[in-house]
Amino acid sequence: MAGPVVDPPAASAVTPKAGYHHGDLRAQLIAAVAELVESHGPDGFSVAEAARRAGVSSAAPYKHFKDRHEILRGVVAEAMDRLHAAMEAGAAAHPRGSLEAIAAVGLAYVDFARTGPGVFRLVFGLTEGHEDDPDLMAKGDQCFGVVQQAVADCLRLSPADPEVERRAYMLWSFVHGHSFLTIDMKHKVASTGTDDWTYLMAVAEAILRRP
């Protein structure tokens, strides 16, 4: 790729290092890359620029990551952890088995997408050399697990019940689709006619209170 990747080649939110040994480079690189992905799209980042932002030479990142793809994977892993935590928190904020708990999980998902559309798309668009990174797959399953558990609680069934899996999948498609559409079409917002919470409650009700 040619041309400078960013507008102000310096200046960043990640505070640079202190001495020769950085002490926290790996995390700072991930933060810097997340920022870049957010502002310039998934292929609008460069290892070099991330290094610059962290205040290290352009070769330093390769002590922590095999190649640029591995950095992306790092960003995704971190993001999925955050997503998982947010979903758990959403569920925990309401009585177990309530529809509210389910809607809250969905809302956490949508909020996650809206506050970091670039990273969100990265998370679900990663298909380079890591189609089946076991670590990422595990984290993905962990997230789905939250939905599954909430649905199981609501239906008073085991999480492994096929009926639970079916409805959890339905719910997730819905939330996932809404998240994507909502960040793709920032124009014509409020296509739902209502706010997210009401919308998600309606969906949860429709999917869970049926034969």
Partner DNA sequence: CCCCCATGTGAGAGTTGTTAACTTTCGCCG
Partner DNA sequence: CGGCGAAAGTTAACAACTCTCACATGGGGG
Binding site for DNA (CB under 7 A): 1-5, 17, 19-23, 25, 45-49, 56-60, 62-64, 66-69
Q: Which residue has the tokens 């070769």?
A: 59
Give the one entry of DNA, its own copies, none that residue 192 binds, where binding means its C-beta sits below a cut-off of 5 to 8 angstroms depending on kind: its own copies
Pick 67 or 81: Cβ nearer DNA: 67
For residue 63, the minimal CB distance to DNA (Å) is: 4
CA gap 14, 35 in Å, rounded:
9
16 contact choice in its own copies, DNA, none (CB below 5 to 8 Å, kind-dependent): none
Distance CA 71, CA 48 (A): 12
Query: Which of 81/128 has CB closer to its own copies?
Result: 128
Nearest to 55 by CA among 100, 82, 18: 18
In the complex, minimum distance from the CB of residue 168 to DNA, in angstroms, rounded to a whole number: 37
Applying CB under 8 A, the residues found at the interface with its own copies are: 1, 40-44, 117-118, 121, 124-125, 127-128, 132, 137, 140, 162, 165-166, 169-170, 172-178, 180-181, 184-185, 187, 191-193, 203, 206-207, 210
Query: Between the CA of residue 126 and those of 47, 52, 84, 122, 176, what are the distances in Å?
Result: 17, 24, 18, 6, 16
Least Å from the CB of residue 31 to its own copies: 20
Q: How far apart are CA 167 and CA 98, in angstroms?
A: 15
Give the H/E segment covering residue 70: helix 68-92
